[in-house]
């Protein structure tokens, strides 16, 4: 079988919290969640949203899986109603970095940090 797609594999502090944010803010559906250990960590959460299939987990430094602060990437869901999704994300705990705005390329766009510090850039195509 050949490589067909790239799957985002996110390591976050509070994997189940991050998954809950994705459900509440963006309507994701959790497909699999491996149990949380006695320290409150989860090994694997697999969820779906709009045809995408990212996975996430907590860091396990004792196994070489050290948490690095989110950097050099953003998650960009494509939505039909940016203003509604922005308000939903803020209600779910996101912090506004750049409020929704009409951009020079014709789309409506914003930036948010989720409760785990990940940058989300929400995009609504308007053309």
pLDDT above 70 covers a percentage of the chain that reads: 94
Report the C-alpha gap between 75 and 111 in whole angstroms.
Answer: 10
Two structure tokens written together for 101: 């705005």
Q: How many residues are listed for the chain in this entry?
A: 127
| Per-residue model confidence (pLDDT) at position 11 | 87
Q: What number is the average pLDDT over the span 90-118?
A: 94
**pLDDT at residue 1 tops 60:** no
Range of the domain at 33: 9-59+73-124
Between β-strands 108-113 and 95-102, what pairing exists: parallel, antiparallel or unpaired?
antiparallel
- Residue-wise pLDDT for 11-33, tens only, equals 888 889 999 999 999 999 999 99
Report the C-alpha gap between 53 and 4 in whole angstroms.
Answer: 13
| Per-residue model confidence (pLDDT) at position 3 | 54
CATH number where 41 lies: 3.10.180.10
Residue 4 domain-assigned (yes or no):
no
């Amino acid at each position: 079988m050949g490589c067909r797609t790239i799957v985002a594999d996110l390591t976050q502090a509070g994997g189940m919290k991050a998954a809950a944010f994705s459900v509440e803010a963006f309507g994701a559906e959790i497909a699999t969640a491996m149990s949380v250990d006695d320290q409150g960590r989860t090994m694997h959460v697999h969820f779906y949203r709009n045809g995408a299939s990212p996975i996430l987990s907590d860091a396990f430094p004792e196994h070489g899986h050290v948490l690095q602060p989110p950097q050099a990437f953003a998650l960009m869901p494509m939505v039909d109603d940016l203003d509604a999704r922005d308000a939903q994300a803020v209600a779910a705990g996101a912090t506004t970095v750049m409020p929704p705005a009409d951009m020079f390329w014709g789309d409506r766009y914003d930036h948010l940090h989720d409760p785990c510090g990940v940058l989300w850039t929400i995009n609504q195509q308007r053309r």
